[in-house]
Amino acid sequence: MYKNQDKINSFELIAIHFWDELKDIFTDKGALLILIGAMIIYPVIYSIGYFNETLTDLPVAFVDLDHSSTSRKYATMIDASAELNISYKPENLQKAEDLFMENKITGVILIPKGFEKEILSGEQSNIAVYADASYFLKYKNEILATTYSNAYFSGAVSVMRYMAEGKSIEQAKISMEPLPAQTHILYNPSSAYGSFIMPGLILIIIQQTLLIGMGVLGGSFSESKNSPFLLQGIKRRKEILPYLAGKTGAYLFISILNIAFAVVLVHHWFHYPDKGNMMDVTMLLFPYLLSVIFLGIGISTLFKHRESAIVFMVFLSPIVLFLSGLSWPISAMPGWIVTFSKIFPSTTVIPAYLRLRTMGAGLGEVKTELLQLYIQAAIYFVLTFSYFFIRVSVGKRQEKIGIKMP
């Protein structure tokens, strides 16, 4: 209890609530583990898991029913690709299927009988690829490797035929590919999965750990039956703003530490794409943090027990990840789901953050999202302020009729 409460000014109230909130965070082991420990563990563990970035040397079986020099050359080309590694060469498709069922391989490539004869006679030959489409990353690698190998192998065959007709090698190359395609992969040249998902995932981790940690503290506070205010009676109304400012400042302080670690250090350690200006990134993340904190303060008042916050937020986390657009493009979602997704600040900030950090865009190019985040923060602040204003007003009326308030 603080002495001379009637003489406390607004700045002192902000400082008191700021330090009280920090004290609650650092004395609550559960909240400390979520708000700080999880922000250290999750980004590092996920980044280590995605460290290789791309899938390489996936084990496949090569079934050669032709047993010719041409089929062996094709096998060498497949094996030389970065994506696949021919680990087994079974005699028939049945044995290859057994290997697949035993989880020793991820796919099968079948060369039919008569493969060389059809090629030498100028006929079209077919190659069968059995790829596991239940795992899309592996499926993509298998199809990609065989598609490229087929293109180069077919090109070599075409060049040899043109040269046999008396054309030079340059003419043969032009005849084989009269309209060459040049592919330029932007912003993620290696097509690495970690570089694609981790920058956005880090922002979701920041949001969810804040919401869970604030919910846990809110549940603990509800269990204690205490009042969040220091002033009594009608003077409590003027304490609402200092109270919210103090709590917001405490969580901003924690968030700055988390961002310095996850957004700066983890990005640098694992070499994620980084073309953005850190000042622009900071200016984007500021309203994002305000939105999350005001949302968290409001939600934390709904939990009567700390366990309820954990259960609810853990249930919510997969939904937030889906609605963020990382696992499935927002453009492919129904309109009502897109509208619903705007409830979460992460849905708005992630596309803007990726444009700043990965694509090298300027702050002016994400001004729409920046404005949306400030509007979102304002809405959550008004809702949270209104809740406490109503709570204080109801408490005042109850005190007048003799009901003792905590």
Residue-range definition of the domain harbouring residue 93: 58-176
Q: For residue range 232-268, list pLDDT tens digits in order.
A: 766 778 888 999 999 999 999 999 999 999 999 998 8
On whether residue 122 sits in a domain, the answer given is yes
Q: Report yes or no on 153 lying in a domain.
A: yes
Q: Which residues of 139-159 are buried (b: 16+ CB within 10 A; e: fewer)?
A: eebbeebbeebeeebeeebeb
| Residue that the structure tokens 């498709």 belong to | 93
Residues 110 and 203 in one domain: no
Shared-domain flag, residues 113 and 203: no
Asked if residue 292 is part of any domain, the answer here is yes
Q: Is residue 147 part of a domain?
A: yes
CA distance 28 to 48: 29
Residues 365 and 224 in one domain: yes
pLDDT in tens, 122-135: 777 888 899 888 88
The tens digit of pLDDT for each residue in 206-229 reads 999 999 999 999 888 887 777 777
Domain tally, the chain: 2
Q: Are residues 46 and 66 in the same domain?
A: no
Same domain, 69 and 200: no
Dihedral sign (CA 7, 10, 13, 15) = negative
pLDDT tens digit string along 34-50?
A: 999 999 999 999 999 88
Taking residue 201's Cβ as centre, other Cβ atoms within 10 Å add up to 22
The answer to whether position 183 is within a domain reads no
Phi-psi region of 77 (alpha: psi -120 to 50; beta: other; left: phi over 0): alpha
- The verdict on 101 and 170 lying in the same domain is yes
Residues 36 and 167 reside in one and the same domain = no
The encoded tokens of residue 315 equal 């249930």
Beta strand ranges found along 322-366 (DSSP E): none
How does pLDDT run across 271-310, given as a tens digit for each residue? Answer: 888 888 889 999 999 999 999 999 999 998 888 888 888 8
Q: Among residues 150, 176, 202, which one ends one of the domains?
A: 176
